[in-house]
A and B are shown apart, each in its own frame.
Chain A
């Protein structure tokens, strides 16, 4: 087992890895940029080293410097977390060259799965379903037969395209030839190139992903699916496991396929195979993420497996501590990403200082957070503040628990998406599990702050204004006087009589 691990990341994931190391009796080394000196991951690690300026390109992305620190601190492993260098094959290779383990898959596996074209080829050879479509330009004479083969609805897209130009959604055969003509002429005028390709159009797609984990003995096990359909700006906001849209049978098929794919590249460590799925449970391969995923905790909650600890152990050469037949789904878990952003204003990030924060507690609640009172959100990094995760005996129970936990969460000093998430947990389509990646666009009413909340807040505001005006000439603590105490007591007893 490792003696000392360098965590090449920041924020909550660095803390997550440090926690796993502590439980495994492994010493930890944090690295930090100038902007992150006063952050929790530095505070919680055994050692910490500055690696440069606040921009990721000046610090967290310079692999060479991070390896230097690891050598100086005598680390025998580097955990990359997610983002930054986690899917950088060259960095993984350089770690090994410097006799430090890269805690993750081989550089080869990262390279093969990281490339859109090679990963598609590998997926095809592993018989993983791909979105039906022509791989290249479609010729006029074959277009009709190709369209029939792909099936409707389908999308005609300009090969040189972008911005929706030369794109046509076609629902039935009788519209096809006319749409093809129009798409081609649009493509010709927009890009001076009338080449188009055809792809099946997935209506109301759901984002479903399978967690896999492999060891160095060739074992790969899947830990079921997560649904991550609630997205904004093509980024996930709410994830849950298991998916309310995946049947037991589909779950087994998807799991087997994901394991097969991972085995093709001798996958070691935690990875995720992402699929797009229609409402009839037809699913197609999107990509594989060769790292620990932001939303890994929900899988941990329903399987009882500590994915980060397991990653470290398999990287050190231990076999997986479980077999496929040992893993079971227990209950339901949901994660909400708490972000410094303004849902009412197109989810624009809201940098600033979280002056005061309070995170929820109680049964079934886990908060993987990097927040503290005075935490500064800068423009240098992702605006995610914390991941709030709950477990419940079933989906309904988990939703109610999440609503309760969100209600306890307080972040003062900058706008967050907490109010939006709060309203989402009471939305009837969400409760019914009717999810697709267009969910937020279809439920724009959730983005608006309720009038009632403004009213209640304004009353607290005016009392504060009054108290401040009142106490200006008087230095005494305005909150407590014997007179108020007596008045309050009598009002309480009055209330309790009714």
Chain B
């Protein structure tokens, strides 16, 4: 069976064959034999080609969160629409507040060209300042806040659009 998982902007493709709980999985031209054994509520042993991996995971709606060796990966089960828009590499990066806090400084204005990884805005929460960066090359199309504003979790801050998506 074919499956897709989305992480960040990347769409991962899998081909999975279920042989009574032992899974033959093809991903990125690599083949794996895997088995996922539940230990308690969220703890699993994954036996991957004979190697044991300690995994913790939870599935909630369309999100699957996997913990492995100290890192946490959040996969999204893409909808059909996601898949087609991902194929076109949708070039919009809408930055929203990752937590309630205060806008320290808006670094870019509407119309400015920015590169991937360039800082867009500095926000402060829990006594710490963080710079939020653009994930794409593009142009600032919207700025919803100004220096000193207090923002709630998820509030829209700034939008970057890739140049080609404006043409399409």
Q: Which A residues lie at the B interface, using CB under 8 A?
A: 233, 345-349, 351, 355-356, 358, 373, 379, 381-383, 406-422, 449-450, 453-468, 470, 479, 481, 483-484, 486-488, 491, 495
Map CB proximity to A onto B27-58 as digits: 1 under 8 Å, 0 otherwise.
11010101111100111101010100111111
- Closest-CB distance, B51 to chain A (whole angstroms): 9
Contact (A412, B56) CB under 8 Å given A457-B73, A488-B22: yes
B64 touches A461 (CB 8 A): yes
Interface size on B, residues (CB 8 A): 58
Question: Are A491 and B72 CB-contacts (below 8 A) given A379-B126, A456-B53, A479-B38?
Answer: no
What's the nearest-Cβ distance from chain B to residue A365, in Å?
16
A301 to B3, CA, bound (A): 50
Pick from B48, B68, B77, B125: contact of A349, CB under 8 Å: B125
Contact assessment for B20 and A483 in the assembled complex, using a CB-CB cutoff below 8 Å: yes
Task: Decide: A453 and B58 in contact? CB cutoff 8 A.
Answer: no
- CB atoms of B18 and A470 under 8 A apart: yes
16 of the cross-chain contacts (CB-CB < 8 Å) are A379-B101, A407-B54, A407-B70, A410-B54, A449-B73, A457-B66, A458-B14, A458-B27, A458-B73, A460-B34, A460-B46, A465-B3, A465-B64, A479-B38, A484-B21, A491-B22
- Among A450, A455, A456, the most chain B Cβ lie within 10 Å of the Cβ of A456
> When chains A and B are docked, how far (Å) is the Cα of A373 from the Cα of B36?
22
A454 engages B7 (CB within 8 Å): yes
Alpha-carbon separation in the docked complex, A459 to B51 (Å): 13
CB pair B70 A461 closer than 8 Å: no
A412 CA to B63 CA, complexed, in Å: 13
Query: Using a CB-CB cutoff of 8 Å, which residues 41-95 of chain B contact chain A?
Result: 41-44, 46, 48, 50, 53-59, 64-73, 75, 77
Quote the shortest CB–CB distance from B65 to chain A (angstroms): 6
Chain B residues closer than 8 Å to A463, beta-carbon distance: 16, 23, 25, 34, 36, 46
- Docked Cα-Cα span, A408 to B43, in Å, equals 12
B68 to chain A, nearest CB (A): 5
Do A462 and B25 touch (CB < 8 A)? yes
Report if A418-B25 is in contact (Cβ < 8 Å); known contacts: A462-B5, A466-B1, A488-B35: no
- Minimum Cβ distance to chain B for residue A36 (Å): 16
- Give which listed residue, B25, B48, B64, contacts A464 with CB less than 8 A: B64
User: Given the complex, which residues of B lie within 8 Å of A419, measured CB to CB?
Assistant: 69-72
Q: Which residues of A contact B19 (CB under 8 A)?
A: 487
Contact call A453/B14, Cβ cutoff below 8 A: no
Interface residues in B123-168 (C-beta closer than 8 Å to A): 125-126, 128, 130-131
A349-B99 contact, Cβ under 8 Å, with A422-B69, A461-B64: yes
CB contact between A412 and one of B38, B65, B125, B128 (< 8 Å): that residue: B65
Q: Which residues of A contact B32 (CB under 8 A)?
A: 459
Q: Are B58 and A413 in contact (CB under 8 A)?
A: yes
B58: which A residues are within 8 A, CB to CB?
355-356, 412-413
Cβ of B110 within 8 Å of any chain A Cβ, yes or no, is no
Q: Which one of B20, B55, B57, B100 contacts A379 once the chains associate, using CB atoms below 8 Å?
A: B100
Residues in B whose Cβ lies below 8 Å from that of A470: 18
Within 8 A of A (CB), among B93-130: 98-101, 125-126, 128, 130
Q: How far is the CB of B135 from chain A (nearest CB, A)?
A: 11
**Contact between chains at B18 and A466 (CB < 8 Å):** yes
How far is it, in angstroms, between the C-alpha of A255 and the C-alpha of B30 when the chains are bound?
A: 58
- Given A348-B98, A379-B101, A464-B36, also A457-B22 (CB < 8 A): no
> Contact at A462–B3, with CB atoms within 8 Å?
yes
- Of B16, B30, B71, chain A has the most CB atoms within 10 Å of the CB of B71
B128 CB contact (under 8 Å) in A233, A408, A415, A462: A233
A-side contacts of B72, CB under 8 Å: 411-412, 414-416, 419
Beyond A453-B69, A459-B48, 18 extra complex contacts between A and B, CB < 8 Å: A348-B130, A349-B128, A355-B58, A381-B126, A412-B42, A412-B56, A413-B58, A415-B72, A419-B72, A457-B75, A458-B7, A458-B27, A462-B5, A462-B16, A464-B57, A466-B18, A481-B20, A488-B22
Residues from chain A with a CB closer than 8 A to the CB of B53 are 456, 460
Measured in the bound complex, the distance between the Cα atoms of B77 and A481 in whole Å is: 26
Among A233, A351, A458, A487, the residue within 8 A (CB) of B12 is A458
**CB pair A459 B25 closer than 8 Å:** yes
Q: Which of B16, B46, B126 contacts A456 (CB 8 A)?
A: B46
Contacts of B77 in A (CB 8 A): 465
Q: Determine if A412 and B73 form an interchain contact, defined as CB atoms under 8 angstroms apart.
A: no
Contact B42 A456 (CB under 8 A): no
Chain A residues in 8 Å Cβ range of B3: 462, 465-466
Chain A residues whose C-beta falls within 8 Å of the C-beta of B68 in the assembled complex: 453, 456-457, 460
| CA distance in complex: A406, B71 (Å) | 11
Task: State the Cβ distance, B93 to closest chain A Cβ, in Å.
Answer: 14
